[in-house]
Copies of this chain bind each other. A is one copy, B any other.
Amino acid sequence: MTRFASTTSNLRSSEIRDLMSLATKPGIISFAGGMPGNDLFPIKEIDEIYNNLSLTEKQLAMQYGPTNGLPTLMESLSAYLKKKGLPVEKNRILITTGSLQAINILAKAFIDPGDSILVENPSFIGALSAFKSYQADIIPVTLNSDGISLTALEKAINKAPALPKFLYITPCFHNPAGYLYSTSLKHELIQLMAGKNIPIIEDDAYSDLFFHPEDSERLTPIKAINPEGIDVCYTGSFSKIIGPGLRLGWMLVPPHIYEKCELIKQSFDACSPSFTQVLADKFLRSGAIYTYLDTVRKAYKTRAEAMFSALEQHLPAYVKWEKPRGGFYIWLQLPEGADATEILKKAIDKGAVFVTGKTFDPEGKKNNCLRVSYCNTSPEMIMKGIPEIAGAIREICG
């Protein structure tokens, strides 16, 4: 009998793997993945960057780098984050192997087995599995379309057996719900959390992918509001703005939290890939990122609009959903008692896949909801696949 650590019993069985294999089944129309469109990657720009690297830069790309990140990338990323109004001077940047690693490091820095933490319900599956792997007691808090329910949050804090270790939220283009917090809710949240000694982990992987430039105020991260008396740990990613294959993300956190996180990062994988850091730095520094983002925002908006129109045309009226203002996802809410797993089986028969709601429920139960993503599917395939999902819903729910 192999004697594993007791924490390993808390690991979810491989739902993400199963999803991935479903999403890539040949011939199937996939609304399951959270990956950028293959056809949208900045291949030409990366080619040009690679072929203009000097020998010294290429050697740097092959070598170990500092644990916190390559100095050139930290500089260009710092400028990029400053443009978003983020307080880069009073905080420290740690470059991580994707933003999931940033979340995992923060989880390790804060969670002792049995500690309570607060998350939105639904919530990002990657974060949930990281929190579970440290044996957190996860307290789910209702998420509304304008942000986390403050009444539910206050109640959850008061009811918690001990002061929760942190609150994990995705205020901008939520995964899986697609919601964008309202400005007023963010301010009320700050008021509620001030002085409570509960850090906020603000996951901001999608805010560059907005569809409406007039939303700019509403896109402002809580970290950029720089609230007095709250430790905001801001995480971001290159996955959605260059490519996930680079495996690069970051955290921007107060110095005393940074110190712990750097040590954890060091013991995790010593440093993030220099090879892709060199490329990401040039992509930011040259300004190529801004032209590129203009292009992909339009492409994702076109895909989203194709999906809006297909959903409006084909879904039964009892399915509730909101049009996201950016990001990758739409959240469909079905009548009480509906079972997204049954719908998924039917949908697969018809040739389309999505992700069931319970995947994003910290308790793995609530399943009368589902996530469809439009990020990696062409408008044509969206128009072809959504009717199949609508058909599957009708067959199961009537």
Q: Is the CB of A266 within 8 A of B14?
A: yes
One of B129, B266, B273 near A129 (C-beta < 8 A):
B266
B63 & A269 in contact (Cβ 8 Å cutoff)? no
List B contacts of A340 (CB < 8 A).
Answer: none
Name the residue of chain B whose CB is nearest to the CB of A270. B100
Contact between A247 and B273 (Cβ–Cβ < 8 Å)? yes
The answer to whether B38 and A63 have CB atoms under 8 Å apart is: yes
- Asked whether A64 is an interface residue with its Cβ less than 8 Å from the other chain, the reply is yes
Complex contact A59–B41 (CB within 8 A): yes
C-alpha spacing A1/B97, complex, angstroms: 29
Residue-wise interface mask of A (30-43) relative to B, using a CB-CB cutoff of 8 A (1 in contact, 0 not): 00010110110101
Report which of B35, B59, B130, B269 forms a contact with A104, defined as CB distance below 8 A.
B269
Interface size class of A (residues with CB under 8 A): 35 or more
Q: How far is the CA of A274 from the CA of B276 in the complex (A)?
A: 10
Q: Does A379 make an interface contact (CB < 8 A)?
A: no
7 nearest interchain CB pairs? Answer: A62-B243, A245-B274, A247-B273, A11-B263, A41-B62, A62-B245, A129-B267
A1 to B59, CA, bound (A): 43
Is the CB of A4 closer than 8 A to any CB of chain B?
yes
Residues of B within 8 A of A61 (CB): 243, 245
CB nearest to A67 among chain B residues: B17
Chain A positions 260 through 271: 1 when the CB is less than 8 Å from some CB of chain B, otherwise 0: 101110111111
Interface-central residue, A11, A267, A270, by most chain B CB under 10 Å? A267
Beta-carbon nearest neighbor of A199 in chain B: B2
Which stretch of A107-115, A187-195, A387-395 is in the interface?
A107-115
The complex places the Cα of A244 from the Cα of B62 at a distance, in Å, of 6
- The answer to whether B97 touches A7, judged by C-beta atoms less than 8 angstroms apart, is no
Q: Chain A: interface secondary structure?
A: helix
In the assembled complex, the CB of A21 is this many whole angstroms from the nearest CB of chain B, namely 8
Q: Are B1 and A269 in contact (CB under 8 A)?
A: no
Q: How far is the CB of A235 from chain B (nearest CB, A)?
A: 13
- Please report the C-alpha to C-alpha distance between residue A1 and residue B198 in the assembled complex, in whole angstroms: 10
Binary per-residue interface labels of chain A (52-63) against chain B in the complex, 1 for a CB within 8 Å, 0 otherwise: 000100111111
Indicate if A83 sits at the interface (CB-CB under 8 A): no
A246 at the interface (CB under 8 A from B): yes
Cβ of A348 under 8 Å from chain B = no
Asked if A133 CB lies within 8 Å of chain B CBs, one says: yes
Q: A126 at interface (Cβ–Cβ under 8 A)?
A: yes
Distance A65 CA – B35 CA, assembled complex (angstroms): 10
A291 within 8 A of B: no
User: Are A231 and B2 within 8 A (Cβ)?
Assistant: yes
Does A267 contact B104, Cβ atoms closer than 8 Å? yes
Distance in angstroms from A7 CB to nearest chain B CB is 7
A8 within 8 A of B: yes
A345 at the A/B interface (Cβ < 8 Å)? no
